[in-house]
Amino acid sequence: MPIRVLDAATVGKIAAGEVVERPASVVKEFIENSLDAGATSVTVEIREGGIDYLRVTDNGCGIEPAQVRMAFENHATSKIVSAENLHDIRTLGFRGEALPSVAAVARVEMTTRAKGQETGVRLRVEGGQSTLAGEVGCPEGTTIVMRDLFFNLPVRRAFLKKPRYEAGLIADCVARMILGNPQVAFKFVSNGRTVYHSFGDGKLRHAIFAVYGRETAENMVEIDRFEGGMRIFGCIGVGEQAKSSRAHQAFFINGRSVRCALLSQALEAACRERVTVGMYPMCALNLVLPPTSVDVNVHPNKLEVRFRDETGTRIAVEGMLKSAFVTRTMLELGRTTPPESRIPEVVVEPVPNLPPAEKSNADTKTDVSKAKTEVDNLKTEVCKNKTLVANCKTDVGTDSSVPSESSDFIGQLQLARRQLDRVSPGNAHVLQEGIPARLPALSENEKPAAPRTQTATDAGASGAKGDAPSVLPDAAPSAPEFRIIGTLLKTYILLETQDALILIDQHAAHERLQYEKLKRALEGKVAAQQLLTPILMRLSGREMAILEDHLDALRETGYEVVPFGERDIQVRAVPMIFGQADPRPQILSILDTLSNLGGTPLEARREQILQAACKSAVKAGDALSDSEITQLLADMLATGAPPTCPHGRPVFKRLTRREIEKMFKRIQ
């Protein structure tokens, strides 16, 4: 479609506003243009935080010589024709504002060669005046350079932060673009130093590797769901991958990087039990839905969207995200990283991205020798990255789910449907190595000789060794086995598996199991059990007041407590799963928790009561007997509960052979 000036009525409908706030907003607009132009390779280079110099080069479709000037006119766009199209936007740009806005506040130079043209053209625009430099030899695609941002607006320039900080914001922006467009190879160079270099092979996990490194890339959980006309796909990081802020939650709606409180809420609700209190899940999640059900024309910077049906979308997304986790086993004896998620060894770790605030404090100068080393490092990195790309190309895994054309909505939906039908019709597609909940009996000659050697079969037999086969009839033949090494510091159960040492925090595990049982019991409404003899307790005045405020929530969780006079209470019933154990520590722990929960809704208080009850039911430092350990392991293997305690702490850790060998410098 040729570039044209929109009619006045359409222009009026596009809300006015500022596009250029800082260098990062310029980078965002330029990259979006490159993506809309169908680029598969985009290089961003900046100097001094992009304030002095910023360049974006792409291999997209370029602009016809006759149209180059037009691209810089106000509200000139090739992406929509009239306001009608605003309801159905399929490109990242559509307002025709970015180029003229940038050109009004900085010196801009565009060199572009359209597909099929012999040569390119160069256009300089400065303070609204454009000069066509005529024909130039250049590759197909577009290079746009911006210099001296706000040179003619000193007030705005004064508001910019230090170059380091601005560079950090640009790095963040590029990182999001990498995560949202794994099919595009991005390179980001700041002051001569390569910060990111993504592969552009279409694999989201490789894009994550380019931004966050191996550990994160291999451990994020992959999700791909299609439901009610909406597809959600991407990766989520919980547990160890959780972060202390929401800065690492990258959301894309129909390929557009957005800030979205609604998606953050849905994600956090879905991951609540897998993330420690005060931490946030991280993600790179794509939501694909009909363009007509979302309004992207909310703000000139196009960073926010509005859903037609907010509540419906939030509930649906939360449900879909939750289902990504349910099929996992609490104790995963094998490797959690499926083979297709592993990142080839040859690749060096990319330079980690420091948060902008940290960057702003650092030294801004790069001396010559350092720069030289960095260039050398870069060369090595590029070579190695090439190796990776070569490797990746031969690796045709089922996870190549990332569509090759982010703006091709129909294509994405069709791809989503095909993939889901192929993998598991109507079900969550969790790309997780299937670890069976129950393990096979070992044949006699397979059994290890150590005295405390057990198999999961023994564990499955609930401590009664010898009758295992009847308990575990349908075990998978290739399931991993383990040997119980013993207990460490009266707190951790140590297991040896085929290629790893597993440390289980027995209290965290026990707490989670109790919590799950209690929750299930409550769902079945058979939670309370009368005590044979009611227990009398004396409380402090404050505790008494808290108790009286929350009697309803306590009753709902299975505790029947009756106040007796000023400060005495009688505990008549407790949740069934705690049996006839002394309920006093539980009650005190619950009251302590409730003291901070004044006006919290009943549902949330119930949850807190459950957590407090389970915590106190597990006494710290208790050594477990052999049969208790066996039972615990059997329970863990038999349940799909999250591998975290109800407060989000991990239940077990795996130290692989590779990690151990690295520790002893056997390998690098």
Q: Which residues on neighbouring strands pair with residue 571, listed in sequence order?
A: 535, 561
Of residues 142 and 506, the one with the C-beta less far from ligand ADP: 142
Q: Which residue is nearest to ligand ADP (CB)?
A: 93
Q: Using CA atoms, how far apart are residues 67 and 280, in angstroms rounded to an integer? A: 47
643 binds, among ligand ADP, Mg ion, none (CB under 5 to 8 A by kind): none
Asked whether 86 and 141 are in contact (CB, 8 A), the reply is no
642 binds, among ligand ADP, Mg ion, none (CB under 5 to 8 A by kind): none
Of residues 96 and 168, the one with the C-beta less far from Mg ion: 96
Query: What is the distance in angstroms between the CA of the first residue and the CA of the last residue of the chain?
Result: 54
Q: For Mg ion, which stretch binds (CB under 5 A), given 90-98, 127-135, 258-266, 616-624?
A: 90-98
Q: How far is the CB of 91 from Mg ion (least distance, A)?
A: 8
539 binds, among ligand ADP, Mg ion, none (CB under 5 to 8 A by kind): none
Q: For Mg ion, which stretch binds (CB under 5 A), given 89-97, 365-373, 490-498, 635-643?
A: 89-97
Of residues 56 and 610, the one with the C-beta less far from Mg ion: 56
Using CB atoms within 10 A of its CB, is residue 422 exposed (0-12), middle (13-18) or buried (19+)? exposed
Q: How far is the CB of 95 from Mg ion (least distance, A)?
A: 7
Largest CA distance in the chain: 96
Q: How far is the CB of 19 from Mg ion (least distance, A)?
A: 9
Q: How far is the CB of 233 from Mg ion (least distance, A)?
A: 26
Asked whether 648 and 275 are in contact (CB, 8 A), the reply is yes
Of residues 37 and 305, the one with the C-beta less far from ligand ADP: 37
Q: Using CA atoms, how far apart are residues 338 and 632, in angstroms rounded to an integer? A: 26
Using CB atoms within 10 A of its CB, is residue 540 exposed (0-12), middle (13-18) or buried (19+)? exposed
- Per-residue x/- marks for Mg ion, 97-126, CB under 5 A? -x----------------------------
Of residues 93 and 583, the one with the C-beta less far from Mg ion: 93
**Residues that bind ligand ADP in the complex, under the rule CB under 6 A:** 3, 29, 33-34, 37, 58, 60-63, 71, 76-79, 93-99, 142
Q: How far is the CB of 86 from ligand ADP (least distance, A)?
A: 12
* CA 500 vs CA 103, 214, 414, 451: distances in Å: 58, 19, 41, 20
58 binds, among Mg ion, ligand ADP, none (CB under 5 to 8 A by kind): ligand ADP
Q: For Mg ion, which stretch binds (CB under 5 A), given 31-39, 274-282, 407-415, 430-438?
A: 31-39
Q: How far is the CB of 132 from Mg ion (least distance, A)?
A: 21
Q: How far is the CB of 87 from Mg ion (least distance, A)?
A: 19
Of residues 33 and 401, the one with the C-beta less far from ligand ADP: 33
| CB burial readout 590-606, b (16+ within 10 A) else e | bbebbeebeeeeeeebb
Q: Output the DSSP codes for 482-507.
A: EEEEEEETTTEEEEEETTEEEEEEHH
Of residues 123 and 263, the one with the C-beta less far from ligand ADP: 123
Of residues 33 and 412, the one with the C-beta less far from Mg ion: 33
Q: How far is the CB of 635 from ligand ADP (least distance, A)?
A: 57
79 binds, among ligand ADP, Mg ion, none (CB under 5 to 8 A by kind): ligand ADP
Q: How far is the CB of 89 from ligand ADP (least distance, A)?
A: 10
Site for Mg ion in 362-401 (CB under 5 A): none
Sheet with 568-575: strands ordered across: 528-538, 568-575, 560-564
Q: Using CA atoms, how far apart are residues 220 and 72, in angstroms rounded to an integer? A: 42
Nearest alpha carbon to residue 361 among 193, 158, 162: 162
Of residues 58 and 458, the one with the C-beta less far from ligand ADP: 58
Q: Of these, 50, 62, 93, 334, which contacts Mg ion (CB under 5 A)?
A: 93
Of residues 99 and 531, the one with the C-beta less far from ligand ADP: 99
Three-state secondary structure call for residue 307: strand
Of residues 62 and 480, the one with the C-beta less far from ligand ADP: 62
Three-state secondary structure call for residue 540: coil
209 binds, among Mg ion, ligand ADP, none (CB under 5 to 8 A by kind): none
Going 69 to 75 to 79 to 82, the CA torsion angle's sign is negative
Q: For Mg ion, which stretch binds (CB under 5 A), given 33-41, 83-91, 343-351, 589-597?
A: 33-41
Q: Calculate the CA 324 to chain-centre distance.
A: 12
Asked whether 585 and 574 are in contact (CB, 8 A), the reply is no
Q: How far is the CB of 283 from ligand ADP (least distance, A)?
A: 27
Q: How far is the CB of 290 from ligand ADP (least distance, A)?
A: 21
Residues in contact with 654: Cβ distance below 8 Å, sequence separation at least 6, in sequence order: 332, 336, 500, 501, 502
Count of positions on this chain that bind Mg ion (CB under 5 A): 3
Of residues 95 and 429, the one with the C-beta less far from ligand ADP: 95
Q: Calculate the CA 139 to chain-centre distance.
A: 37
Q: Does 35 bind Mg ion (CB under 5 A)?
A: no
Residues in contact with 455: Cβ distance below 8 Å, sequence separation at least 6, in sequence order: 439, 440, 441, 442, 447, 468, 481, 482
Q: How far is the CB of 313 from Mg ion (least distance, A)?
A: 26
Of residues 76 and 258, the one with the C-beta less far from ligand ADP: 76
Which two three-digit tokens encode residue 567?
């400060």
Of residues 4 and 572, the one with the C-beta less far from ligand ADP: 4
Secondary structure in 3-state letters for 378-411: HHHHHHHHHHHHHHHHHCCCCCCCCCCCCCCHHH
Q: Output the DSSP codes for 204-225.
A: HHHHHHHHH-HHHHHHSEEEEE
DSSP state of 158: H
Q: How far is the CB of 34 from ligand ADP (least distance, A)?
A: 5
Q: How far is the CB of 43 from ligand ADP (least distance, A)?
A: 12
213 binds, among ligand ADP, Mg ion, none (CB under 5 to 8 A by kind): none
Among all chains, which residue has been given the structure tokens 């995963």? 332
Q: Which residues on neighbouring strands pair with residue 294, listed in sequence order?
A: 307
Which two three-digit tokens encode residue 153?
């607006």
Q: Of these, 19, 20, 23, 33, which contacts Mg ion (CB under 5 A)?
A: 33
Q: How far is the CB of 8 from Mg ion (least distance, A)?
A: 20
554 binds, among ligand ADP, Mg ion, none (CB under 5 to 8 A by kind): none
* Residues near Mg ion (CB under 5 A): 33, 93, 98
